[in-house]
C-alpha cells in the first residue's frame, strides 16, 4: 500500500510549485530570446509584398549554399567555374523587402513539405535559369539526386530520398509553332523566306501532355517575342482554329492573343495545380543590343534613380521590352487563378550579376556577344527561389 504524505508536507509542495510558476512567468518578458524566433512551418505568415524593397550589401551573412560542382549547372551560367570577376561581391547583396522579412530557403524543409510532389517550369531559357538555381539548392538536401527527362521535359532532376521531381519544359512561345516554307502565291515578290506558324490556341508539344502530373507549375514567355528571333524575312504567322487570323496581328498583338489563349488553357487543364507566372527578367545591355557590342561589365547594382532611364519604354532603350511585355502579361492574367511572380523590379537593379564575357567557351563572345540576359549562378535566381518558396509554402498550407 502506498504511503500517504503528511498534510503539512503536501501543502508546502503545492505552495512552492505555484510560487515557482508565478516567478517564472514574470521572468519570461525579460528574456524574449526564449520565445520562438520563427513561425512554425504549419502556420506560415501571410505573405506581404516581397517584390518591393532594396538590395543591401551584407557580405558576412549572405553566402550561397552551392558551388560550381553542382551537376545541374549549365556551363555558360556557372560563373564560379568560369572564374567570373566579383562573384563574392555579386553574392553579397541581399534583397530586403520593405515591410516584411524574406527568409533563405531551407532545402530540408522544402523537401519535407514537398515530399512525393512534382514542380514544373514551362517557358524559355530564363525559366531554365530559374530551374537550375532551384535544383542546385535542393541537391544540398539529397546528394543522390539524379537527372530526369520525361513527359516532354527538356531537363530536370529526381530526388529519391524525398520522391520529389523538378523539371523544365522548353516552350519559348508557349503555343505550338513550326517553320513553314515560303508560299509563292502569297509572298511571290517580297523577301520572305518562310514563316513560323503559331497556333495560338494549341500548347507546344513539349508541355501538352503534363496535365495532372505537376503539383506546382511556373510559366513564362517573352524573350523570344522580338524581331531578332523572328525577322521580317521569317515572320510569325498566327492561326486560330486551324485558320489564319485576319487581319494578321503584329508581333505584340500576336503575343497578347497567345497569352490570353494559353492562360485559358492553363486554367482549364490544371484546375488543382498551384500556378505561377513569372514576369519578365530584365536584360542589361549597355551601349547597344546583344548583337551590337552591348555589354554589362558593372561592379555594383544600379541605383533606383537609374531604373527608368534603363527600362522605361518611353526612353526607347535597348532593354525596354521587359516592361512592355509585362503590361501585356498583367492584362492577360487578370481574373485568373494564376499568381504573378513579379521578379522584374528587384532584378532590374542587378546589372552587375550577368555572365557577361565569362561564358566558359572559347570565342563565345565573338560569336554571340556578351550575355547580359541570363544570370550567373549562384546569383540573382537564388533570390527568386527564396521568394517562390515563401509564396508556395503559404499557399500549400492554406489550400
Q: What is the CA radius of gyration of the chain?
A: 26
Return the H-helix or E-strand segment holding 155.
Answer: strand 155-159
| Residue 37 DSSP code | S
* Cβ 192 vs Cβ 212: under 8 Å: no
> In whole angstroms, how far apart are CA 81 and each of 62, 150, 365, 382?
20, 29, 17, 17
Q: What is the dihedral of CA 199, 205, 211, 217, to 10 degrees?
A: -90
When pLDDT is cut at 50, 70 and 90, the band that residue 73 belongs to is very high
When pLDDT is cut at 50, 70 and 90, the band that residue 380 belongs to is very high
Classified as helix, coil or strand, 364 is helix
Q: Comparing C-alpha atoms, which of 207, 177, 211, 169 is closest to residue 195?
A: 177
When pLDDT is cut at 50, 70 and 90, the band that residue 27 belongs to is very low
pLDDT at 65: 95
- Across the range 303-318, mean pLDDT stands at 96
pLDDT digits (tens, 9 = 90+) for 326-361: 999 999 999 999 999 999 999 999 999 999 999 999
Predicted confidence (pLDDT) at residue 11 exceeds the cutoff of 80: no
- Across the range 63-91, mean pLDDT stands at 97
* Cβ 311 vs Cβ 323: under 8 Å: yes
pLDDT at 6: 52
pLDDT at 46: 58
pLDDT digits (tens, 9 = 90+) for 200-218: 999 999 999 999 999 999 9
Predicted confidence (pLDDT) at residue 184 exceeds the cutoff of 80: no
pTM here is 0.87
Predicted confidence (pLDDT) at residue 30 exceeds the cutoff of 90: no
Domains of the chain: 63-180+193-398 (3.40.50.1110)
Q: How far apart are CA 378 and CA 77, in angstroms?
A: 9
C-alpha cell at 47: 505573405
Comparing 162 with 62, the larger pLDDT belongs to: 162
C-alpha cell at 316: 526607347
Residue corresponding to grid cell 515530399:
115
Q: How far apart are CA 380 and CA 187, in angstroms?
A: 45
- Across the range 75-102, mean pLDDT stands at 96
Q: Which residues pair with 196 in a beta bridge?
A: 179, 236
pLDDT at 32: 28
Predicted confidence (pLDDT) at residue 22 exceeds the cutoff of 50: no
Q: Comparing C-alpha atoms, which of 340, 251, 324 is closest to residue 283?
A: 324
Amino acid at each position: 500500500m502506498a504511503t500517504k504524505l503528511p498534510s503539512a508536507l503536501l501543502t508546502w509542495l503545492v505552495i512552492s510549485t505555484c510560487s515557482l510558476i508565478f516567478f517564472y512567468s514574470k521572468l519570461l518578458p525579460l528574456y524574449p530570446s526564449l520565445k520562438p524566433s520563427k513561425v512554425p512551418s504549419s502556420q506560415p505568415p501571410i505573405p506581404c509584398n516581397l517584390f518591393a524593397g532594396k538590395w543591401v550589401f551584407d557580405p558576412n551573412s549572405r553566402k550561397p549554399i552551392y558551388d560550381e560542382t553542382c551537376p545541374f549547372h549549365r556551363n555558360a551560367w556557372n560563373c564560379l567555374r568560369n572564374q567570373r570577376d566579383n562573384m563574392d561581391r555579386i553574392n553579397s547583396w541581399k534583397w530586403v523587402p520593405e515591410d516584411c522579412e524574406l527568409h533563405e530557403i531551407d532545402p530540408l524543409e522544402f523537401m519535407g513539405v514537398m515530399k512525393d510532389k512534382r514542380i514544373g517550369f514551362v517557358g524559355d531559357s530564363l525559366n531554365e535559369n530559374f530551374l537550375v538555381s532551384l535544383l542546385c539548392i535542393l541537391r544540398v538536401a539529397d546528394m543522390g539526386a539524379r537527372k530526369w527527362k520525361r513527359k516532354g521535359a527538356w531537363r530536370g532532376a529526381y530526388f529519391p530520398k524525398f520522391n520529389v521531381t523538378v523539371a523544365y519544359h522548353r516552350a519559348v512561345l508557349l503555343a505550338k509553332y513550326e517553320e513553314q516554307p515560303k508560299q509563292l502565291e502569297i509572298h511571290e515578290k517580297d523577301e520572305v523566306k518562310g514563316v513560323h506558324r503559331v497556333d495560338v490556341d494549341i500548347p507546344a508539344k513539349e508541355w501538352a501532355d503534363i496535365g495532372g502530373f505537376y503539383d506546382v507549375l511556373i510559366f513564362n514567355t517573352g524573350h523570344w517575342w522580338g524581331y531578332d528571333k523572328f525577322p521580317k524575312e521569317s515572320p510569325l504567322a498566327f492561326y486560330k482554329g486551324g485558320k489564319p487570323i485576319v487581319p494578321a496581328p503584329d508581333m505584340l498583338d500576336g503575343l497578347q492573343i497567345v497569352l490570353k489563349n494559353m492562360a485559358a488553357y492553363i486554367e482549364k487543364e490544371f484546375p488543382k495545380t498551384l500556378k505561377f507566372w513569372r514576369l519578365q527578367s530584365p536584360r542589361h545591355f549597355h551601349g547597344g543590343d546583344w548583337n551590337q557590342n552591348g555589354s554589362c561589365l558593372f561592379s555594383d547594382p544600379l541605383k533606383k534613380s537609374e531604373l527608368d532611364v534603363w527600362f522605361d519604354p518611353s526612353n526607347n532603350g535597348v532593354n525596354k521590352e521587359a516592361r512592355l511585355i509585362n503590361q501585356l502579361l498583367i492584362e492577360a492574367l487578370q481574373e485568373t487563378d494564376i499568381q504573378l511572380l513579379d521578379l522584374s523590379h528587384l532584378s532590374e537593379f542587378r546589372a552587375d550579376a550577368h555572365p557577361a564575357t565569362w561564358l566558359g567557351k572559347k570565342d563565345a563572345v565573338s560569336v554571340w556577344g556578351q550575355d547580359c540576359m541570363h544570370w550567373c549562378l549562384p546569383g540573382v535566381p537564388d533570390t527568386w527561389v527564396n521568394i517562390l518558396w515563401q509564396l508556395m509554402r503559404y499557399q500549400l498550407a492554406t489550400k
